[in-house]
Amino acid sequence: MRALEGDFRNPSGCAISAVISRSGERMSGEKIIESMKPMHERSNGLGGGFAGYGIYPEYKELFALHLFFTDKAVRHECETYLRGELELVKSEVIPTRTIPAITDEPLIWRYFVTPLRSVLSSMQVDENEYIARVVMHINTSIKGAYVFSSGKNMGVFKAVGFPEDVGEFYRLEEYGAYSWTAHGRYPTNTPGWWGGAHPFALLDWTVVHNGEISSYDANRRTIEMYGYTCTLQTDTEVITYIADYLLRKQGLTLEETASVIAAPFWSTIEARPEAERKQLTYLRTVFPSLLITGPFSIILGFHGGLMALNDRLKLRSMVTAEKGDRVYIASEEAAIRAMEPDAENFYAPAGGEPVIVRVREGCC
């Protein structure tokens, strides 16, 4: 049997792209799909995917779980497990379009769920932690089932294929999101299954990433201490867990999180004013093993915003631009021009400089 993603480490090159409306206006998936076309060369047809925020307004209080199943029997097994753990409000097949470019699809389902209050109070955990544990359980213990999206009012759509075909396959033009992120993958090895495509998601966090991080195993072995299990051996997976750990579990701000994972050099820290120097020194001292080295450009999606971040040496390309209330981020300017030919204020963020864009309060 051929090895599946997760059994081996699979270095990948990539294209990433994102758009967000600061006024919370919902955009169909067409433009973000367009953005991936000029970056076709940055993918090799072995993975593409999208994340949309604000796509399930009618179920916004519920967690939307997107799952791949290898067969019906696994789906039944998994649904039985879900029913025991959660209240299943709605379950349905994710609508897709049959196109020649996308083949070998697994069963693709989504479930709108909510944890049982009584269970939460008896386990003394909040709903996010509970859902995270359910996701970890399914992904590590139910063979043939894989949760690839688990946040509220958001969803990930991914497959083996070129990203523009993946977008067409999932009929993304039918969804409206206030922010979209997209990923085209150039893995060095065949991932073998769809779970290896990106974005990678946990709860509301999604990560699209371009690069190969050299700190991977230091990061993985550290984050696995905190209840995460890295099943895919991909950078994106471990970056997502780090983001979840620092933002949700440790309560750091996005800026603080950026200064952990792309920490300024000590020489830079020493030159900063005292209050800032103390905080940066503190964060580097406390979380040394969550520093990510090697090339990366990532776009972290979350409820109500996006954060773009480069590694501290800026070893991967990434540019941002604006037009009206929209902000665009992509590996290449061409991708942004494909979305908005008149985009302005093009800017290449420095290594380790986070670009954080939020939807205005009350707009999402």
Q: Which residues are marked as active site?
A: 14
Q: Is 210 in the site for other proteins (CB under 8 A)?
A: no
- Please report, as residue ranges, which positions from 253 to 272 form the binding site for other proteins (by CB under 8 A): 256, 263, 265-267
* 3-state DSSP helix/strand/coil % of the chain, to nearest 5: 35, 30, 35
Angle at 185 between CA 184 and CA 189, to 5 degrees: 165
Rounded Cα gap, residues 318 and 349, in angstroms: 7
Q: Strand pairing of 48-53 and 107-115?
A: unpaired
Kindly tell me which residue out of 222, 234, 257, 297 binds other proteins, with binding defined by CB under 8 A: 222
Q: Binding to other proteins (CB under 8 A): which residues in 303-362?
A: 312-313, 315
Contacts with 13 (C-beta within 8 Å, 6 or more apart), sequence order: 42, 186, 210
The Cα–Cα gap between 27 and 20 comes to 9
Q: Which is nearer to other proteins, 45 or 144 (CB)?
A: 45
Q: Indicate which single residue of 61, 73, 117, 282 sits in contact with other proteins (rule: CB under 8 A).
A: 282
Q: Does 281 bind other proteins (CB under 8 A)?
A: yes
Which residues make beta-bridge pairs with 12?
A: 187
Residue nearer to other proteins on the CB measure, 9 or 40 = 9
> Rounded to whole angstroms, how far apart are CA atoms 12 and 4?
15
Told to check if 225 binds other proteins by CB under 8 A, we report yes
Comparison of 7 and 61: residue with beta carbon closer to other proteins = 7
Select from 159, 242, 252, 307 the one that contacts other proteins (CB under 8 A): 252
Cα torsion 143, 243, 188, 199 to 10°: value is 70
Q: Site for other proteins (CB under 8 A): which residue of 7, 41, 126, 217?
A: 217
* Contact positions vs other proteins (CB under 8 A): 9, 11-13, 188, 211-219, 221-222, 224-226, 250-252, 256, 263, 265-267, 278-279, 281-289, 291-295, 312-313, 315
